Structures are given as structure tokens and as C-alpha cells.
Amino acid sequence: MAEFSIIERYFKRTSKSDVSLGIGDDSAIVTPPPSQQLVICADTLVAGRHFPLDTAAHAIGWKSVAVNLSDLAAMGAKPHSILLALSLPTVDHDWLAGFSQGLFDCCDQFGVSLIGGDTTQSAQLTISVTALGWIEQGQAITRAGAQIGDYICVSGQIGDAAFGLQHLGHTLQQRLDYPTPRCHLGQQLKGLASSMIDISDGLAQDLGHILKASDVGAKLQLDQLPIDASLKQLDLQQAWHYALAGGDDYELCFTISPQNFKELSRQQLDVPLTIIGEITQQTGLLFEYMGKAHPLHVHGYQHFA
């Protein structure tokens, strides 16, 4: 089946009104809103590396969009559209139908349009998505900006996806296959959070990026980590490993002043928030358990391990 037939059959849809030119030409044309900045990110998923080979096509389609929207959420941006680069070993119509439906299900839930991309053949299934979003001039939340005394917060639960990966068939596999990008929360944090990142490679490693960019340290309370009941039944070290190093959570980790946290708490939030620590002057990441220092060495996901 020809490339353009695949695009026409599975991926071409009517775009938003501000997309002047979408799928079907050499490039897409989008009209930017006034006084907005363009936020751009890209992620690649490789079969067998970023998802099990037997993952349902619908879940792969959903996740390929969701992980990118999570990056936009981490900047406080409103998602707008995506570009898809799809490399296929073969043309499997059942797989393409499921994949495209999962992709559009995620797009539709978060108000996103597919406006272009590329399709080709390769030995390994590879999906690369570029996501575009908008944010008011100067309002983007970066990794640099954490202040001494800020709370460290996370949304939702952490460790679910890593546990689900090791226990396929468990209900927590749903969190691995269908992550929820916290787009609404990210936008609510504009003007309140001092720094932010999404948790893709493990909380400890990703929080470390904030600490390095902000030139600060952190004290994390292990007994405050928001974990599922399934993890609470495990040995503490194993539960902490899932929560701190497992990755694939796509929750938001952010720093915020106590005053701004009170203001945030008065808003209508669509996901629970947990204070798990505070920013300190001493550099590095320290752990405490039940009020006492608890040395712990954890490493997050390594892309070239």
C-alpha cells in the first residue's frame, strides 16, 4: 500500500480553524494567536524499547501522543497540534486502524489536531511525534526557578507504570499503556509554580534536572510518596525503587512557594497533589524517612543503557 494511501485512509482529518493548511502538502501552516509563544517538543517511541512488543496498537497510538502532551503540560502550555513520523516494518491494516484510533482518541480528549508528518518503511516500528502548544508571552514554567523553601509537589501517583510493566495483566498496566498528560493542571500552575518537569525517567532523576537547573538542593520525604496500595504491600526498598526510579509516570513534579500552594489549593483541581519535600540550599538530593535521614541511591531510566 502506498504511503499516501496510508495517510489518506488512517490519518487525514479536518483540522482546527486556525490551521490554514494541514495534511496533504509539503508543510502545515498554522496561524499563531496574538501575544503567544510557540512551545515545541518531540518524543520517539521504539518497539521493544519504550513499550512491550505485544502492546495493543490502540495503546501505542494513545501513548505516542500523551507523552508529548505531558512535555507541553510541564511548561504550562496549552496543546494545539502534533506531527507524526511513523516507520512501519509492514502495512498491517488492523494495527493501523487500532493505532490511528488510539492516537485520535488522545488528540480529541485534549483538543489537539494531527496536522502533518511522514510515513515510511523500516525494519523496526518507530513512532516519533512532535507536539506544538501555545503559552502567553513570558509565562512558560521551566526547570530553572526553584527557590529555597519551596514545596516539592507531585500530581497523582508515582510508580504505577513501572509496577505495571513488571506485572503485566495487573490493573496498573493501564497506567503504563494509557498515561494521562496533566494538561489542565500545567496551565493552572502558570504564575504559581517556580519550576516544573514531567516525570518520564523516574522522580529522583527528573527532580535532579530541576535541582541542577535551579542550582539548589532538595530534601524528600519517603513516607510522603503517593503510591498505590499494590506498592504499599511490597518491601519498602522495592516500593521506593518503583516510585523514584521506575519512570513512565507522566505526572508533574513542580516546586511552589507555601503561599502560592495555598492559592492553588483554592482552585478546582482534576488530580490530587502531594507535598513530598522542600527545596534546600545544600545541593544534591537527600532523603528522609519518618523524620530521619535515610541514605538511598537510585537511578532513573537510561536511554543508552
Question: Can you say which residues are annotated as belonging to the binding site for ATP?
Answer: 117-118, 143, 200
- C-alpha–C-alpha distance, residues 154 and 144, integer Å: 17
C-alpha cell, 100: 490511528
User: Which bin fits 284, alpha (ψ -120 to 50), beta or left (φ > 0)?
Assistant: left
In this structure, what is the dihedral angle of CA atoms 221, 240, 42, 72, given to the nearest 10 degrees? Answer: -30
CB–CB of 258/153 below 8 Å?
A: no
In this structure, what is the dihedral angle of CA atoms 218, 252, 168, 301, given to the nearest 10 degrees? Answer: -50
CB–CB of 58/102 below 8 Å?
A: yes
Q: Which residues are annotated as a binding site for substrate?
A: 50, 248, 301
- C-alpha–C-alpha distance, residues 152 and 139, integer Å: 20
Q: Which residues are annotated as a binding site for Mg(2+)?
A: 26, 43, 71, 118, 198, 201
Q: Which residues are annotated as a binding site?
A: 26, 43, 50, 71, 117-118, 143, 198, 200-201, 248, 301
Q: Which of 186, 198, 190 is nearest to 143 (CA)?
A: 198
